[in-house]
Amino acid sequence: MSMPDPYASWFENLRYHVEVLATPDRIEEVVARVDELFTAHAVFDLTVSRRPGKLVMLCQKARVLRRSDQASWARRRTNSLF
């Protein structure tokens, strides 16, 4: 008799991820996958400051929330916790 898998019903529900791109169509690294938007913004800001010149994107699934190469994508400070 085999033991039941303790992780059978476990899955990650991490909605946000921060990516560093090598080229506009190729991901170099996924820096973080998190479930809170506040944390995702903090990781994005830190990644941009540590990797100048690289394209960094904050995404929610397939939706791009912020990009490091476009000032118009900068986080709006109104109604923000930062």
* pTM recorded for the entire structure: 0.74
Give the pLDDT confidence score for residue 80 in this predicted structure: 46
pLDDT in tens, 12-52: 789 999 999 999 899 999 999 999 999 999 999 999 999 99
DSSP secondary structure letter of residue 13: -
Query: Which residues make Cβ contacts (< 8 Å) with residue 58, sequence separation at least 6?
Result: 16, 17, 18, 40, 41, 43, 44, 64, 65, 66, 67
Domain residue ranges in the chain: 35-68
Answer yes or no: is pLDDT of 76 > 90: no
pLDDT in tens, 45-62: 999 999 999 999 999 989
Give the pLDDT confidence score for residue 13 in this predicted structure: 81
Q: Are 55 and 69 in contact (CB under 8 A)?
A: yes
Helix and strand numbers (H, E) in the chain are: 1, 4
